Structure 1
Amino acid sequence: MCDEHGGPAEALAAAPRLAEGAAVDPIALQPVDEVRITTLVDNMFDALLGSDERVSRVSPGLAWEPAAQFEGSRTDPGLRAEHGFAALVTVRRGTSTTTLLFDTGLSVDGMVTNASRMDIDLSDVHGVVLSHGHFDHAGGLVGLAGRRGARALPMVLHPGAWTRRRLSLPNNHIFEMPTLSRRALEGEGFEVVERREPSLLVDDCVLITGEVDRTTEYERGMPPPHQAWTGSGWEHDALVPDDQALVVNVRDRGLVVLTGCGHAGAINIVRHAQRLTGVDRLHALLGGLHLSGPFFEPVIPPTVAALIELAPAMVAPGHCTGWRAQHALAAALPDAWLPSSSGSTYRLAA
Structure 2
Amino acid sequence: MKASITILVDNRTKLNNIRTEWGLSIHINTADFNILFDTGPSWKSLYENAQNLGIDLSEIDFIVISHWHRDHSGALSNLINFLESKGKEFKVIVPPTSFSYPWMIEARTPFTFSDNILTTGTLPEIIPEQSLILRSRQGPMVLVGCSHPGLDRILERVCSITGSKNIFAVIGGYHIGLAEARFVKEIFEKFNVSMVGPCHCTSDDAIEFLKKAFGNRFIEIYTGKRLDIELA
Could you tell me the TM-score, scaled by structure 1's length?
Answer: 0.61
1:84-110 CA distances to partner (integer Å, 9 max, x unpaired)? Answer: 10000123xxxx432101000011221
Per the alignment, residue 205 of structure 1 pairs with 116
Distance in 2 (CA, whole Å) between partners of 1:266 and 1:347 is 23
Q: Do structure 1's residue 159 and structure 2's residue 96 form an aligned pair?
A: yes
Residue range with higher mean Cα deviation, 269-278 or 148-157: 148-157
Per the alignment, residue 191 of structure 1 pairs with 103
Equivalent residue letter for 2:119: I
The equivalent position to 1:240 in structure 2, one of 126, 129, 141, is 126
The equivalent position to 2:4 in structure 1, one of 10, 32, 36, is 36
Q: Do structure 1's residue 79 and structure 2's residue 11 form an aligned pair?
A: no
The equivalent position to 1:261 in structure 2, one of 119, 143, 146, is 146
* Correspondence 1:112-127 to 2 at 5 A: 112-127=47-62
Contact 2:5 2:228 survives alignment (8 Å)? yes
Contact 2:66 2:129 survives alignment (8 Å)? yes
The number of equivalent residue pairs is 229
Kindly name which structure, 1 or 2, has the bigger radius of gyration based on alpha carbons.
1
* Correspondence 1:8-19 to 2 at 5 A: none
Per the alignment, residue 203 of structure 2 pairs with 322
**Structure 1: gaps (5+ residues):** 1-32, 48-59, 61-77, 163-181, 214-238
Deviation of 1:43 after TM superposition, in Å, equals 0.7
Deviation of 1:35 after TM superposition, in Å, equals 2.4
Contact 1:313 1:335 survives alignment (8 Å)? no
Distance in 2 (CA, whole Å) between partners of 1:345 and 1:240 is 32
1:191-243 CA distances to partner (integer Å, 9 max, x unpaired)? Answer: 01112112111x33212111237xxxxxxxxxxxxxxxxxxxxxxxxx33421
Higher helix share: 2
* Correspondence 1:303-342 to 2 at 5 A: 303-342=184-223
Contact 1:39 1:343 survives alignment (8 Å)? yes
Equivalent residue letter for 1:80: R
Distance in 1 (CA, whole Å) between partners of 2:127 and 2:158 is 16
The equivalent position to 1:89 in structure 2, one of 21, 28, 31, is 28
